[in-house]
Amino acid sequence: MARMHSRKKGKSGSTKPMKPTKSTWVSLKPKEVEMLILKYAKEGKTPSQIGLYLRDEYGVPSIKALVGKSVKDILAEKKALPDIPEDLMALMRKAILVRKHLAENKKDMPAKRGLQLTESKVNRLAKYYKRTGVLPAEWKYDPERIKLYVE
């Protein structure tokens, strides 16, 4: 599949096994994993960061295979999900950094183009999240307001 704003092809990556099975070396029980997920969520970690911590520190290769639910599902069950999804938040952070760069370097046209592409991704993703009910229907991307929220 081609990239969004260029005609280049994507890089190949690793694939997960066909059948997710519980690994024999994992000594944690599903309840303990849920408790760790909640602990890291209270510390302000995103769902992907929580998965990385559990993989690197506790040797849990697949949370979904062990618990039967994804990190996002567990956090949604416990009402610990952030208001704005992490992929949308990452794009908004990037847009804010590019805006800050453009304030200092007004003639940087490639950065201006990058800002346009990033903000179009933000708007496209926000439209999807509004349609699926993750974001409220009246939510709007406003760079000045979001700047206060992100920082």
The C-alpha atoms of residue 33 and residue 139 are separated, in whole angstroms, by 34
Round to whole Å and give the CA distance between 11 and 24: 32
What are the tens digits of pLDDT across the range 70-126? 999 999 999 998 889 999 999 999 999 999 999 999 999 999 999 999 999 999 999
- Confidence (pLDDT) at 147: 85
Which distant-in-sequence residues (6+ apart) come within 8 Å of 51 by Cβ?
A: 63, 71
Q: How many residues does the chain have?
A: 151
Mean pLDDT of 25-42: 93
DSSP annotation of 28: -
Structure tokens at 149: 């929220």
- Give the burial string for 49-75 (b: 16+ CB within 10 Å, else e): ebbebbeeeeebebbebbbebebbebb
pLDDT at 129 over 90: yes
